Amino acid sequence: MKKYLFVLRKPAHSGAQVQEMLDIILTTAAFDQQVGILLIDDGVFQLKNGQQPNIAGMKDVAAIFKALEIYDVHDVYAEVESLLERGLKPKDLCLPVREFYRKDIASLMKRYDVVFSG
């Protein structure tokens, strides 16, 4: 089994690419592959509590993230500096995350066989 890390950099409602990446993540996990997700830069907003995308006619990506457990995706990471720079704390997110400092991201990526950036 290969290990896949998906690096999400864009905010939740920034276009079709976010939804497409989530679809790829769920598809990969559905085929019993080990999947991890790393949220960096504005990607940390994807897990922010209290989003109301339906007002803008968009899908609730936080709800999709909550479905990850069904697919045995438990490795969700967030970059500490990205959270701090955006005024967020782990308690502001809809899922528990493991925090990694920017200096440690490269070593995290080395744990995975395939790294997708989106």
Q: Residue 51, class by beta-carbon neighbours within 10 Å (0-12 exposed, 13-18 middle, 19+ buried)?
A: buried
Q: Which among 34, 40, 85, 94 is positioned nearest to 66, based on CA atoms?
A: 94
pLDDT at 97: 95
Question: Mind listing the pLDDT tens digit for each residue in 29-61?
Answer: 999 899 999 999 999 988 888 776 665 566 667
Is the pLDDT assigned to residue 9 strictly greater than 90?
Answer: yes
Both structure tokens of 32: 């019993």
Contacts of 4 (CB under 8 A, 6+ apart): 28, 33, 34, 35, 36, 112, 113, 114, 115, 116
